[in-house]
Amino acid sequence: MVIVMKPKATKEEIAGVEKLLKNLDFGVHISEGSERTIIGVIGDKRKLAETPLELMPGVDRVVHILEPYKLAGRAFHPESTTIKVNGQVIGGNKIVVMAGPCAVESEEQVISTARFLKEQGVTFLRGGAYKPRTSPYSFQGLEEEGLKILAQARKETGLLIVSEAVSTRSLEQVAKYADIVQIGARNMQNFHLLQEVGRSRLPVILKRGLSATIEEWLNAAEYIMNEGNYNIILCERGIRTFETYTRNTMDISSIPAVKELSHLPVIADPSHGTGRWKLVIPMSRAAIAAGADGLIVEVHPNPKEALSDGPQSLNYDSFTALMEDIRKIAVILGREI
């Protein structure tokens, strides 16, 4: 349930409600908005059967929530959340661009790409050191050596690092080097990993699962938030449908839908969403126009020689064109890059 405090409720009145709830062993989550404070309550509401919360000083009303995702939903947190990562803000008026190779292959590949992306105004370098691949014979990544290369690129360019954790063991390694940990589509419902990410307090990109509904996606975020980590960026990356021409079906409608249901920022991954580099630019335009807070795009100096996902990677010229397009759309929407 949610307890909505009056607009002029005092700190003492809010603290009084919080103390009562904690004494009854409820989980309490306080969201201070610009006009009023919202207190989210998690636990067995039968304990409150004989406690008239509505009569407590400062309380406006009590609202019962039907959605299973309490912390990720807007009922607990009506105002949109912004995530701050080492001085960079994700959400709000700014559109953030994360780009880089699908997989870290060599120091030369990553450093040269990072330098190019820096010139284009990118703030986050994405690169996979641990690669969950469909085939066990495909390139699986350089693991910690790949993370060290990403860290070197950050040192040289100032770009912040995004890299995927595929297990609790790899999470420990990613946490040492990356600024944002990514949970990929295949691990969206790896609940033990989600709980570990929640305990880590690391900023996290949570990608939508291959066949996940929006409710399942938000419930995955709930696992992380229930452990105390609210630094979550949701990522639409396409879902599996009967269509085979594209790698996945990019669900653009999920972007405004999730932004209505949840306060968390949402970015889009048109590379995995389509699997075809020629479709990445038009789907990026569509995602930004639909309200996405950013993009995560695969860029490679020579996609034809990429060890992973070359067909969906942009080369430098294509990425330059992408940045030009989304800057124009940002101006129309009154946003900035």
Nearest by Cα to 205 from 157, 250, 160, 253: 160
Please report, for the chain, the start and end positions of each structural domain, with discontinuous segments joined by +.
2-63, 83-333
Q: Where are the alpha helices (DSSP H) in 201-269?
A: 214-225, 254-261
Contacts of 6 (CB under 8 A, 6+ apart): 36, 58, 59, 60
Strand-strand pairing, 180-183 and 204-207: parallel
pLDDT one-digit tens code per residue, 110-163:
999 999 999 999 999 999 998 776 677 566 678 899 999 999 999 999 999 999
Return the amino acid letter for 149.
Answer: I
Query: How far is 111 from 114, CA to CA, in rounded Å?
Result: 5
CATH superfamily of 2-63: Phospho-2-dehydro-3-deoxyheptonate aldolase; domain 1 (3.30.70.1140)
Query: How far is 128 from 8, CA to CA, in rounded Å?
Result: 49
Q: Tell me if domain 2-63 and domain 83-333 are identical in fold.
A: no
Successive 10-residue mean pLDDT values, the chain, 337 residues: 91 92 88 85 82 90 86 90 95 96 94 97 95 67 92 97 95 96 96 96 97 97 95 98 96 98 98 97 98 98 91 97 97 94
Query: How far is 199 from 174, CA to CA, in rounded Å?
Result: 14
- Yes or no: say if 295 and 267 are a contact pair by the CB < 8 Å rule: yes
- Yes or no: say if 31 and 78 are a contact pair by the CB < 8 Å rule: yes
Nearest by Cα to 309 from 217, 212, 237: 237
Q: What is the pLDDT of residue 50?
A: 81
Q: Which CATH architecture has domain 83-333?
A: Alpha-Beta Barrel (3.20)
Query: How far is 128 from 105, CA to CA, in rounded Å?
Result: 9
Return the amino acid letter for 139.
Answer: F
* pTM reported for the whole predicted model: 0.90
Query: How far is 278 from 274, CA to CA, in rounded Å?
Result: 9
**CA neighbours closer than 13 Å in the CB half-sphere of residue 284:** 34
pLDDT one-digit tens code per residue, 148-193:
999 999 999 999 999 999 999 999 999 999 999 999 999 999 999 9
Report the b/e string of 178-207 with b at 16+ CB within 10 A. bbbbbbbbebbbbeebbbbbbebebbbbbb
